[in-house]
Amino acid sequence: MYRYDEFDRTLVAERVQQFRGQVARRLSGELSEVEFKPLRLMNGLYLQLHAYMLRVAIPYGTLSAVQLRMLAHIARRYDKGYGHFTTRQNVQFNWPKLADVPDILEELATVEMHAIQTSGNCIRNVTADQYAGAAADEIEDPRIYSEIIRQWSTLHPEFSFLPRKFKIAVTGAANDRAAVRLHDIGLQMRRNLKGEAGFEVIVGGGQGRTPVIGKTIRSFLPKRHLLSYLEAILRVYNQLGRRDNLYKARIKILVNETGAQEFARLVEAEWAEIKHGALALPGEELARIEAYFAPPLYEPLDAVAPQFEARKREDPDFARWVQTNLAAHRQPGYAIVNVSLKPVGGVPGDASAEEMEALAGFAERYSFGEIRVTHEQNLVLPHVRLSDVPALWAALKAAGLATANIGLLSDIIACPGLDYCNLANARAIPVAQRISTRFGDLKRQHDIGGLKIKISGCINACGHHHVGEIGILGVDKKGEEFYQITLGGSADENAALGKIIGPAFSYDAVVDAVETIVETYLDVRQTGEGFNDSLARVGLTPFKEKLYAAH
């Protein structure tokens, strides 16, 4: 993992002291709320419905066991015993007191954590494939480049007041688990004809009220030019992006209005001026950062572990969990283990202090002390020996963390919604809970197969509803919660936006509507066909007919 150097340490420590002074001046009256609000937001501190909310950065979703234990400690000492993992791979605490926040940040700094770049119109915390460094389908570890971007973007003076927030995602694998086509900039690692690794550069993706799939403006960017090319994109955006209208300020609007081809031309022209300047990445610097992400000391193992295979044959519960929650590891004899934060009827993404501590322990014992956070609001133990998997499963089960539903219907993304969020129009979490309870029988879910449901409580789309196979958007109709359903979205390498199926459903009716959609899919699907494939073949009509037949 990356370790802070003296610059990082100084920067974070100084920031904590600055914020301590700012909070003191706010409480003494030297700073008004108008003056203080942008300062607290620069430190990840929001005011939500019931209390302040502190968003802590987890750069590219990588955590150590020591850091996870610290999050548990913060949850217990300063909050109400839990944290919420978000679709940006971050963690949020829902109940901190203003006067405590400097202490929280100081404690976080002791484990190299902070809340910088979690708010404001800057380049936000970089996200990446949660299987980075472990995935069998990976060209190179995307965290190396995510960390380089992190160092370049943190407090970048030219890009601290962009027209709007700016999100960058990186994946090193062909199977996109980082939703790179739905970010302001997405970087997809590719090989050129010579076999060299570089990046496909995608710009102008995003969700919110104007969902757009990003457009490729460069099919191959050599690694050494990564920062100069990003700088060129940001310069074009910073200069031409709209500042007159909050809803038209994201880069996706600029790219759409300019046209991707013309936008690419502007970027290339800017890049030509700076590509051989100070931002070119020398080989030794790449190697230095790469060394931080060196693989752990794997044991040489056989690809097949007999006791693991035997356990799968003997125990159908274990076999089911393996089928959904394990992913292929690049190292023979190892597996990537997903830990679902979506127990049946639970709050998606919430973890109690006890659960965090248990997982920190499992990570130390079974996964070289490493944990990952996924944008689908689950956690990952990235490097587990296959022969340890049965013991880990038993331990997870005892801690209530062995739900076998990764990628299934109840593995629902849900934003905090109207239960917590100041921007929400409707609740999202209880809709997720009711769907998960309705389909609570895991055997039924395994029979249905992979199905992605994503729920947002407002048009800002933190719950990624546009890219759910079944997307649910909460709206307010005369003070009542209604839910608009879209079908056919996807966040992966086949990124697609869902289509609205028809009039919205009431809070009481939305779960029945989801069940009707699922039943219709089961009726029409051919053997082995996923939800979006069936939908592409039969169209929306059969679903509409079933949903609105009684109306």
Return residues touching another protein (CB under 8 A). 26-27, 29, 33, 47-52, 80, 95, 97-99, 347, 418-420, 424, 426-427, 429-430, 433, 476, 479-481
CA dihedral 328, 330, 333, 334 (to 10 degrees): -70
CB 115, min distance to another protein, A: 16
Nearer to another protein, 29 or 528 (CB): 29
What are the b/e assignments for 365-399, b being 16+ CB within 10 Å?
Answer: bbbbbbbbbbbbbbbbbbbbbbbbbbbbbebbeeb
Nearest CB to another protein, comparing residues 182 and 351: 351
Smallest gap from residue 381 Cβ to another protein (A): 27
Which of 376, 419 has the CB closer to another protein? 419
Q: Are 140 and 197 in contact (CB under 8 A)?
A: yes
Least CB distance to another protein at residue 420 (A): 6
Least separation, in Å, of the C-beta of 243 and another protein?
A: 24
Indicate the residue among 76 and 80 with the shorter CB distance to another protein.
80
Nearer to another protein, 97 or 276 (CB): 97
Q: What letter would DSSP give residue 478?
A: T
Instruction: Give whichever of 97 and 243 is closer to another protein, judged by the CB atom.
Output: 97
Give me the torsion for CA of 232, 238, 242, 246, rounded to 10°.
120
C-alpha dihedral over 353, 358, 359, 363, to 10 degrees? 140
Shortest distance, position 429 Cβ to another protein, whole Å: 5
Contact 185, 201 (CB under 8 A): yes
Residue 35's contacts (CB-CB under 8 Å, 6 or more residues apart) are none
| CB-CB neighbours of 92 under 10 Å | 22
Question: What H or E segment, with its residue span, contains residue 89?
Answer: none
Nearer to another protein, 97 or 288 (CB): 97
Nearer to another protein, 392 or 458 (CB): 458
Which residues lie closer than 8 Å to 178 by C-beta, 6 or more apart?
A: 127, 128, 129, 130, 142, 169, 170, 171, 186, 375
Q: 103 is written with which tokens?
A: 């202490």
Query: Hey, which bits of 343-450 come out as E strands?
Result: 350-352, 370-373, 379-385, 413-414
Least distance (Å) between residue 58 CB and another protein:
23
Q: Which is nearer to another protein, 91 or 429 (CB)?
A: 429
For residue 220, what are its two tokens?
Answer: 């191959």
Min CB(79)–another protein separation in Å:
10
* Residue 101 beta carbon to another protein: minimum distance, rounded to whole angstroms: 11
Structure letter (DSSP) for residue 57:
P
How far is the C-alpha of 334 from the C-alpha of 112, rounded, in Å?
A: 28
The C-alpha atoms of residue 104 and residue 244 are separated, in whole angstroms, by 36
**Which residues are CB-neighbours of 163 under 8 A, at least 6 positions away?**
121, 237, 238, 241, 242, 243, 249, 250
Q: How far is the CB of 136 from another protein (least distance, A)?
A: 37
Considering the complex, state which of residue 32 and residue 261 has its C-beta at the smaller distance from another protein.
32
Cα–Cα distance between 280 and 148 in angstroms, integer? Answer: 12
Shortest distance in whole angstroms from residue 37 CB to another protein = 9
Q: At 60, which amino acid appears?
A: Y
Smaller CB separation from another protein, 234 or 431: 431
Least gap, CB of 480 to another protein (angstroms): 7
Rg over alpha carbons for the chain, rounded to the nearest Å, is: 23
- Inter-CA distances, 524 with 282, 409, 510, 519, Å: 55, 18, 21, 9
- Complex with another protein: residue 368 or 482, whichever CB lies closer: 482
Report the nearest approach of another protein to the CB of residue 516 (Å). Answer: 24
Query: Which candidate, 79, 120, 67, places its Cα nearest to that of 356?
Result: 67
Q: Decide: residue 297, CB within 10 A, 0-12 exposed, 13-18 middle, 19+ buried.
A: exposed
